[in-house]
Each structure stands twice: as C-alpha cells, then as structure tokens.
Structure 1
C-alpha cells in the first residue's frame, strides 16, 4: 500500500475521532489502488457499521472499475488495533462463514500521537496479523 493511501486512511480516522471511522480499500493484483470512505452508521466510539446502501454503492464502484475489495478498514480510538469480538462478528455470518472471503481488515489505532496500523486476516472466530507493506 502506498504511503499516500495509508495517510488518507489515518486522516479519516483522526477526522472522525473519537468515533470510529470505516471504509473500503480497492485493490488490483493484491496492491491497494484506492480508498473509499464510508460513514459509520453506528455513530459510535466502540464499533463501526457501514450503511448497507452506501456499502453496496462503494462495492459497485469497485466492481465497475474492474478492481477487487482488498480490505475493509476502521479505526480504534481507545484501544490497540487488534480485532475485537465485535470486529470478528462483523466479518462473518452466524455460521462462521466469512462475509467477504479473501478480504483483509486494516485497523488504525489513533489513541496515541503516532498511529498504530495493523492488517488482519479474520476467518470465523480466528484472526491473524498479516504483514502490511508500505511503499513511498
């Protein structure tokens, strides 16, 4: 991911703090190419919920551009950027099937002056940190 795209996400997180921000990252061949901000319909500092209509509009724009949904991002404003049980539950259906198979989850921690950014794979009830490569 380019530093510029990552900076856009951090800016979104800081702008929405103390509430969580959220959005989607479009990719081509595994490389992030665009960031799509979404409104946190939960309007909460503890969780994010993308409005389904807005989420569909973003997904359609990603599909129409012949891109893939590479990651869903959100912020943690008061805790480390580690998936909470709420985050895990949002990533799956009740039968533990992933809602977005192959999609990663980027969490931006903004509780400190320096952002803490981590990338995760969430499948069922399990999550694992994935290396985030940032280019200039």
Structure 2
C-alpha cells in the first residue's frame, strides 16, 4: 500500500498536466523507513510524448541532495499522456528497485487524470492500493 497526502498527489497531477502532451517525471522522497513526504519534479530528458528519461546530471545532483538530507526515493512517478496508468514494457524494463513504488498518472483525459501505483519485481507487475488522505504520513 502507498499512502500519500492530498498535497503530494495534487502536485503530481499538476506536474503531469503542465507538461502534457510530453510525459512528466519525478520522485517523492522521505526518510528511510518513513513516509514519502517531498515531491521532486525532474526534467524529462527525452522530451517525448511516449517515454521519459531522467537527465543523468540532474539525477546525480538530486541523489546527492537526498543523501545530504538523509532521504531516499520512495516513489518514482511519471505520466502517460496517450495511454492508461499501467506500466509499459519500457517501464518494466527500467524498474530496478523492488522496494520502490512506481506511480503512473494518466493524462489521457486531462479533466479526470488517473493515478495508480505498482511494485515491479523481476519483470512482474503488482498493483498496490493507493490511499490519498488528509492525514499526514507517519
């Protein structure tokens, strides 16, 4: 299960809609063993409508910042602009960390974005419950 605040969920949707029709991407960080609490939007270096790729320099800088802050990436997110919120073959191929939540925001219908979360382990996709709450994460 992935528990997110309304603030984080809304920020992801705003990020996805702002970049539509190009896929948006980023992460949500938090302390190890804690809850995801901070959204970090990243640039889609592929600048494509059907793919995303973190810019390697930006990613290195963000990972260094996470280390300095004592945080880790809990959620990696991106948008799908022309398909539903379900991992593509590329999404599965690039999913490297079984502990990470992989969240997809579909902006196929910008009036009603769809958000779903998955675990991807050894090529196997498992959807997990996504709970968006006013309660602050613990």
TM-score using structure 2 length: 0.88
Q: Find the partner of 2:22 among 19, 24, 40.
A: 19
Deviates more, 1:102-111 or 1:60-69: 60-69
RMSD over aligned Cα atoms = 1.1
- Residue of structure 2 equivalent to 1:96: none
Tell me if 1:106 matches 2:103: yes
Q: Find the partner of 2:64 among 50, 60, 65.
A: 60
Residue 38 to residue 67, structure 1, CA distance change in 2 (3 Å): same
Instruction: Give runs of aligned pairs for residues 75-94 of structure 1, distance below 5 A.
Output: 75-91=79-95
CA-to-aligned-CA distance 1:57-103 (integer Å, 9 cap, x gap): 11221221112210100000111100000111121xxxxxxx33411
Unpaired runs of at least 5, structure 1: 92-98
- Answer 1 or 2: higher relative contact order, Cα 8 Å, separation at least 6: 2
CA distance in 2, matches of 1:114, 1:30: 30
CA shift for structure 1 position 27: 2.2
Q: Find the partner of 1:135 among 126, 133, 136.
A: 133
- Residue of structure 2 equivalent to 1:45: 49
Unpaired runs of at least 5, structure 2: none
TM-score using structure 1 length: 0.90
SS of aligned partner of 2:130? coil
Q: Find the partner of 1:5 among 4, 8, 25.
A: 8
| Matched positions, count | 129
Moved over 3 A (4+): none
